[in-house]
Amino acid sequence: ELSDELLNNLYQGIKAEGYEGFDTLKEEQVAWVKDKMKQEKSLSNDELIKYQTLVNLTLDRCDDLNRYSYYGY
């Protein structure tokens, strides 16, 4: 949940900055969330593996959003 909170804060920060490509970013984010949910359904019943995988996916997306925030892509 902490990684999701970080992701949401990054996303909201980019939105608040008035990033000119935000509509494209929003479409990418919606697609990413759908893909994450799909992957979650297909993950092992082992809760630790599931949690680690979802956290890693979310942190990778945080890196993507940081690039948008700092470099505009």
Q: Give the per-residue SS3 of the chain.
A: CHHHHHHHHHHHHHHHHCCCCHHHHHHHHHHHHHHHHHHHHHCCCCHHHHHHHHHHHHHHHHHHHHHHHHHCC
Residue that has been written with the tokens 């902490």 in this structure: 2
pTM of the full predicted structure?
0.86
Distance of alpha carbon 27 from alpha carbon 62, whole angstroms? 16
Tens digits of residue pLDDT in 59-73: 999 999 998 888 876
Tell whether the model's pLDDT for residue 36 goes beyond 90.
yes
Cα 2 from chain centre: 12
What rounded mean pLDDT belongs to the chain? 91
